[in-house]
Structures are given as C-alpha cells and as structure tokens.
C-alpha cells in the first residue's frame, strides 16, 4: 500500500520551501514544511485556524522571518530578494483592516499603484466596477466585505505572475463571495498566474483548485494534485466479523477510521481494487465505496487518525 504523499513530482516550481520552521515564543507555528507549488497551478492550502497557513504565506512574502529552512519563489530567495519578489506577487492578507484606514479607496488605489510598474489603471477600474468597490469612502469605514474586495483589486490590478491569497473570501456575503471567485477565475483565465490560496472554506475553491496541501498543527500532512486525490482517496464502508482486528496491510494508508459495532468506515489512500482486496482478505465485507469531495477529503485529512471517533 502507498502512504499519503507529502511531496509533488515535477521541476517547474513557482514556490518551493524546504524545512521551513517558525516558532513564536513557545508556540510552534511551522515544523519544517516542504511546500511546493507548481508553476501555473492553483494550490489550495487547507488547514484549521492556527495550523500555520498565514505564517507560511507571510514567510513567502518575507513579512515574517523563518527560524530555519528556505523559501524560493519565482526563482528568487524570499529573504534576499524580498522587494523584487513582492513586486511580482498580488497579496491579500488575512487582516482586513490596515494602517491605511484613513485613505479614501481611490487614494489607496493610486498610492498602491505607484509601487507596481505593471499597475493597470484601466484593469483596476474594471475590477472596481465588477466588485462594486466604493471609491469615495475611507478604507477604514468600509465593511469587512468591502475592505476584502478592495484588497482583491489591489492584488489583481498589477497582473502579477503569482497570487498569494490568505482567506480571500473571509467576511464576504454569499453573493460577494461568488462574484469574487468568478473574478478570480476570469483573471486566471485571462492572465497566466500561479495561485496559492489559503482557506478553511474548501468547498468554495473546489472549482479553482488543481493542487491541495493540508497543513495541520504546523506540519504538512499531504500535498497532492486534486486529480490524484479524487482518484486515490476513497471512503470504504464495510461489515467486519466479531473480533476483527483490522487489515494490517493498510496501515499507513488509512487516513481516517471509525467503527460502530461491526460496521467500519475507513478513508483510505490507495488504489481502490487493492484496498478492496486487502479488506476482503482480512475478512471485511465491503459494502460501499465512494469518492470524496475536496471538502470531505480535507476534513478526513485534517482529523487525527489515532484519536478519531471509534465506537467498539
């Protein structure tokens, strides 16, 4: 049986980190992660609050310095070439309120645009119209959703080759969320861009994602192409005999297991026919096998296999 993969194969990376470590006092935020985002990919970084997602993104932008490890993005060392790298990144931070709260939105857009030589006023105006951004209001007086949409305009209007979005739909109402994701999809279609998006609302990014990384408690549980995830991750529902001790051969491939009397429900990474065969061989009668949605997969991958709910 194959274990859950933690690295991607390939050679053209937009972002590659190796052994990234970071602690804030006694709190360990990242425990040596090797994140690899292929060029042109839409990589969704999933994890619960406090998993280390924001810290990882901040290190990529050199807003936070790692205690150990390295980051290379767009062929640049984030620490050494921070300004050159940030010039090529469209960034939506986790925080919606900024220090520029006193600026009117139009002033903020003009100010921000001065920092990016590829800033496109025309495109910015289109985005403003599409996202219904109020130009004449002070940024600090905007609602959470409006502030978020301004940040999206700031990130996209210079058409960067890399977008780093930290919870971009946080605070948006369903309609604004839909519009923002559509704008993002259109942007991706129009301009070749690599997208690294951090979220805990996986279902929203399902239509965009082609790679997924799962970060939990500062460790990278897995990172895989979504197509592999859909092909290899299955939930197996089976009846097992009294005193069944489990299919030992699957150890290392079982992502999540739960049991209710003689019924088991296992989420397993591996070739379906081989998993079926192993379970049958161990005495379990497989009753149902189904593929998981991205969100179900994320939830399974985020739950701790050892401590998951088990009823004897």
**Interface with other proteins (CB under 8 A):** 24, 58, 61, 63-65, 82-88, 91, 93, 95, 98-103, 107, 111-112, 114-118, 158, 161
Strands (E), 167-243: 194-199, 211-216, 219-225, 233-239
The residue (of 95 and 285) whose beta carbon lies closer to other proteins is: 95
To other proteins, the closest distance from the beta carbon of 91 in angstroms equals 6
Tell which residue, 39, 48, 50, has the closest CA to residue 8: 39
The residue (of 61 and 226) whose beta carbon lies closer to other proteins is: 61
The residue (of 83 and 174) whose beta carbon lies closer to other proteins is: 83
Task: Show the tokens assigned to 186.
Answer: 């259109």
To other proteins, the closest distance from the beta carbon of 92 in angstroms equals 10
To other proteins, the closest distance from the beta carbon of 254 in angstroms equals 38
To other proteins, the closest distance from the beta carbon of 80 in angstroms equals 11
The residue (of 64 and 274) whose beta carbon lies closer to other proteins is: 64
- DSSP for 136-196 reads TSBGGGS-HHHHHHHHHHHHHTT--SEEEEESTTTT--HHHHHHHHHHHHHHHHHS--EEE
Task: Show the tokens assigned to 181.
Answer: 């994701």
SS3 171: coil
The residue (of 160 and 270) whose beta carbon lies closer to other proteins is: 160
Residue 72 host element (H or E): strand 68-73
To other proteins, the closest distance from the beta carbon of 241 in angstroms equals 56
């Amino acid at each position: 049986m194959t274990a859950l993969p933690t690295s991607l194969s390939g050679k053209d990376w937009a972002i590659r980190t190796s052994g990234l470590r970071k602690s804030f006092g006694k709190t360990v935020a990242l425990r040596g992660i090797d994140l690899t985002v292929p060029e042109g990919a839409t990589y969704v970084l999933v994890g619960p609050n406090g998993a280390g997602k924001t810290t990882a993104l901040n290190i990529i932008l050199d807003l936070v310095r790692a205690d150990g490890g390295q980051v290379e993005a767009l062929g640049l060392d984030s620490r050494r070439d921070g300004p050159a790298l940030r010039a090529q990144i469209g960034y939506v931070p986790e925080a919606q309120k900024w220090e520029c709260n006193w600026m009117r939105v139009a002033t903020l857009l003009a100010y921000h645009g001065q920092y990016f030589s590829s800033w496109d006023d025309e495109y910015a105006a289109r985005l403003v119209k599409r996202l219904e951004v109020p130009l004449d209001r002070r940024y600090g007086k905007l609602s959470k959703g409006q502030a978020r949409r301004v940040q999206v305009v700031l990130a996209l209007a210079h058409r960067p080759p890399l977008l780093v979005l930290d919870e971009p739909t946080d605070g948006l109402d369903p309609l604004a969320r839909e519009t923002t994701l559509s704008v993002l999809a259109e942007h991706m279609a129009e301009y070749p861009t690599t997208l690294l998006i951090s979220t805990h609302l996986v279902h929203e990014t399902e239509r965009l994602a082609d790679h997924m990384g799962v970060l939990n408690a500062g460790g990278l549980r897995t990172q895989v192409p979504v197509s592999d995830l859909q092909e290899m991750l299955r939930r197996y529902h089976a009846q097992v005999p009294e005193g069944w001790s489990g299919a030992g051969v699957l150890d290392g491939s079982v992502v999540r297991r739960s049991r209710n009397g003689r019924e088991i429900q296992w989420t397993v990474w591996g070739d379906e026919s081989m998993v079926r065969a192993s379970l049958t061989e161990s005495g379990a009668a497989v009753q149902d096998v189904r593929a998981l949605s991205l969100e179900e997969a994320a939830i399974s991958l985020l739950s701790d296999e050892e401590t998951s709910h088990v009823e004897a």
